[in-house]
Amino acid sequence: MVVNRSREAWKTYGNVFDNFTLRNLQKLSTQGYFNELEESIAMGKEANVFSASTSEGEKIAVKIYRLENCSFNKMYNYIIQDPRYMNLKGDKRRIVFAWTQREYRNLMKAREVIRVPTPIGFKDNILLTEFIDEAGEAAPQLKNAFVENYDLLYDEIIQMVLLLYKQGLVHGDLSQFNILIKNDQPVFIDFSQSTAVDSPNAKELLKRDLEVLSNFFKKQGIKRDPQKQFEAIINTK
């Protein structure tokens, strides 16, 4: 069984369980990726994330992008600026599929230089990744985590942004919501908006990421100049 609740019960989770998605979940389950979905981890504007059990008794994360009630125009405006997807054409469903594939590709690239959930696989609007846990439970977002040294953590996060940039990527949606804390270390998540550094909007997204982080850490008593951070990153060798 792919979903361990009644279909009616799962409808409360943003209508992600349409017939098409349920068939794809069944295919992924049959292929051995997981046994069944267990519980909701996060509900977002475009996607919901669930934990799933595997036959080895482990957990993975299953991210399901909605095929309806989704911000297709926003997705399209972001993705066509990415040199890898500039020729993307098609209907709304194909845009969602490309969006899912892009997050998988971004995670594959990012994992070479920073800590992210290990990508496991994807199919159409479904992305499978490592489940980031802390003491058996879903790791907390930065906004909810206990942090002993915000100053040190801030420096570590900026170093990760730099490493990601040198790897050819800008996260594009980095905030206290998209950073998890596991064993006192930051883990970047949600790479669907991430883009190549040669995208027309890459520097704009990088600057926004740094400003959002600066605003969060300022509330924790840590002040940095996001403009100086931006200049140092884009001028790195």
What is the Cα Rg of the chain in Å? 18
Q: Is 209 a catalytic residue?
A: no
Q: Is 190 a catalytic residue?
A: yes
Strand order in the sheet with 59-65: 36-43, 47-53, 59-65, 126-130, 119-123
Tell me how many degrees the CA angle 79-85-88 measures, rounded to the nearest 5.
90
Helix segments in the chain, DSSP class H? 7-10, 19-30, 72-79, 92-110, 150-166, 202-219, 226-234
Measured distance CA(210)–CA(229) in Å, rounded: 7
Pick from 73, 71, 74, 52: which is nearest to 63 by CA? Answer: 52
Measured in whole angstroms, the distance separating CA 33 from the mean position of its chain's CA atoms is 19
Check 124, 190, 209, 225 and give the catalytic one. Answer: 190
| CB-based contacts of 21, cutoff 8 Å, min separation 6 | 64, 67, 125, 126
For 142, which DSSP code? G
Check 173, 184, 209, 225 and give the catalytic one. Answer: 173
- Which residues form the catalytic set? 173, 190
